[in-house]
Amino acid sequence: MDDKDISNAVIARLPRYYRYLGELKNDRIERVSSRELSRLMHVTASQIRQDFNNFGGFGQQGYGYNVDYLYDEIGKILGLDHIHNMIIIGAGNLGQALVGYMNFKNRGFVFRGAFDISQNVIGKKIGSIEVLPLDDMPEFVRNNNIDIAVLTVPKTAAAGIAKELVECRIKAIWNFAHIDLPVPDSIKVENVHLSDSLMKLSYNLHRSEDDTNTTGAAE
Amino acid sequence: MDDKDISNAVIARLPRYYRYLGELKNDRIERVSSRELSRLMHVTASQIRQDFNNFGGFGQQGYGYNVDYLYDEIGKILGLDHIHNMIIIGAGNLGQALVGYMNFKNRGFVFRGAFDISQNVIGKKIGSIEVLPLDDMPEFVRNNNIDIAVLTVPKTAAAGIAKELVECRIKAIWNFAHIDLPVPDSIKVENVHLSDSLMKLSYNLHRSEDDTNTTGAAE
DNA sequence: TAGATTGTTAATCGATTAACAATC
DNA sequence: TAGATTGTTAATCGATTAACAATC
């Protein structure tokens, strides 16, 4: 498999393809051409074909792409044919929301444990899992084949916990703390910086207002 | 202001600059050069200077950038000198987490209302705001100068609500539903597709495992 | 002034789009 | 076969990096 050095831009588009293909699948549509998908998704057909061909040819000339097959293949590329064992660190509202989000489970992402430092939540149950004290986390990670740690703690706590996670050989961190984690490159980090996202929205909101003004008066 | 057609890539980097400058500010550091910032943030000094110069010269030759000034200017570019009135639609765990996240408030993003269809949450209080029935939403938006709607509802409900939001002239939607919203371009949408993010992490996790295998055996 | 560092132009690199031959 | 549509090469476009003159 020469998955090597495929650009981030391509990878970032795969989940969206996967989503649209899932919908076509639900609608019992058997085949789709890059042209149809292009119209549906508002990206160029050329880009769609280029993207897919990074991973080998999934289509057939004169026919297009088989929806079921393409869906499965993209799923495999994204690792969705594996079960991922996850823990959550920080059992606040956000942590609880993520654990409760059942769609993750459907895709093979399963929460095995939850950890916090607050006596208010330790011992509580989130769905079927009990919140344990953070001190128990390293042992739990080692004993339960945990792949992914989800970090939903205040940013002041995040760096310290990240170091512990490195020590117990976590493979990946899904980071919701508003900080760039100090971990070696061997550990994969995906950041969800919510306030960055909100700031982008804010920028676009004001830009459009500025534009409106600008069109009215010259200079 | 010729904020026009500044690339998305640049905008996406601004919140991160803002964050690092905020930290320097906290540390009472007065000035910073693109070179120092480059070392700190692991981006090229050239990119930093190019990015800032999209908005005019914030620095001074031979000196660098004044941290306080640059912080404020980037804040203004991002619209953080305004108050933003927001509502949340969907008062589940995720909605509650976002409303409770006080840092938004510090940056001028203030939740004014919360809406849901479930009798289980209508009437409940989230912080200081009461959850109202979704039917009350359009009037509330019109009467309270709401800029941003935060959408944390299941994807089946999202499209319909988006249409209502368009009708009551919302300016922007922060969308957590796993769907591309059917709204005109005049309404700004920022998507937070959590499962897309998790899939990217999954991809990178497996890619690194493949690499490990590959380095062992040739071909 | 000399040294430092920006602002900005030019060079490079990478990603997207267009075009078309291959082929089902 | 003829028509459709891919896979892939070439052309274009845009973003990043390098270089350096301007200037504090």
Mean pLDDT, range B193-205, rounded to an integer: 97
Q: Round to whole Å and give the CA distance between B96 and B110.
A: 14
Query: What is the per-residue pLDDT for A212?
Result: 46
Q: Is B150 left (phi over 0), alpha (psi -120 to 50) or beta?
A: beta
Q: CB contact, 8 Å: B65 with chain A?
A: no
Write down the domain spans for chain A. Answer: 8-77, 84-195
Tell me how many residue pairs between chain A and chain B have CB atoms under 8 A apart: 166
Q: Which of A117, A95, A56, A92 is nearest to A192 (CA)?
A: A95
Q: What digits encode the pLDDT tens for the residues A153-193?
A: 999 999 999 999 999 999 999 999 999 999 999 999 999 99
Among A4, A55, A199, A215, pick the best mutation site for testing chain B contact (most B Cβ within 10 A). Answer: A199
Q: Kindly write down the DSSP assignment for every residue of A45-106, as one continuous string.
A: HHHHHHHHHTT---EETTTEEEHHHHHHHHHHHTTTTS-EEEEEE--SHHHHHHHH-HHHHH
- Decide: B117 and B133 in contact? Cβ < 8 Å: yes
Q: How far is CA B151 from CA B98, B104, B168, B178, in A?
A: 11, 16, 15, 10
Strand D nucleotides within 7 Å of a protein CB: 2-9, 14-19, 22-24
Touching check for B205 and chain A: CB below 8 Å?
yes
The residue ranking higher by pLDDT, A40 or A210, is A40
Residue B99 vs residue A214, higher pLDDT: B99
Closest in A15, A104, A203 to B79, CB measured: A203
Residue B11 near chain A (CB below 8 Å): yes
Is the CB of residue A97 less than 8 Å away from at least one CB of chain B? yes
CATH no. of B84-195: 3.40.50.720
A76-112 pLDDT, tens digit per residue, is: 999 999 999 999 999 999 999 999 887 787 889 999 9
pLDDT of residue B4: 54
pTM of the full structure: 0.93
Output A219 or A151, whichever has higher pLDDT. A151
Per-residue pLDDT at A211 exceeds 80: no
Phi/psi at B191 (5° precision): -95, 135
pLDDT in tens, A23-48: 999 999 999 999 999 999 999 999 99
Spell out which residues of B between 7 and 26 contact strand C, using CB within 7 Å: none
Position A113 confidence tier, pLDDT thresholds 50, 70, 90: very high
Q: Which architecture, in CATH terms, is B8-77?
A: Orthogonal Bundle (1.10)
Positive or negative torsion for Cα A36, A42, A46, A50: negative
Say whether residue A159 is in contact with chain B using an 8 A CB cutoff.
no
CA A180 to C1' C11, whole Å:
32
Task: Please name the nucleotide lying closest to B52, CA to C1'.
Answer: C7
Q: Sign (positive/negative) of CA torsion A175, A179, B83, B49?
A: negative
pLDDT higher than 90, residue B98? yes
Quickly list H helices, chain A: 8-26, 34-41, 45-53, 67-77, 93-100, 102-106, 137-143, 155-167, 194-216
Q: With an 8 Å Cβ cutoff, are A174 and B100 in contact?
A: no
**Residues A63, A69, A70, A74, Cα dihedral to 10°:** -160
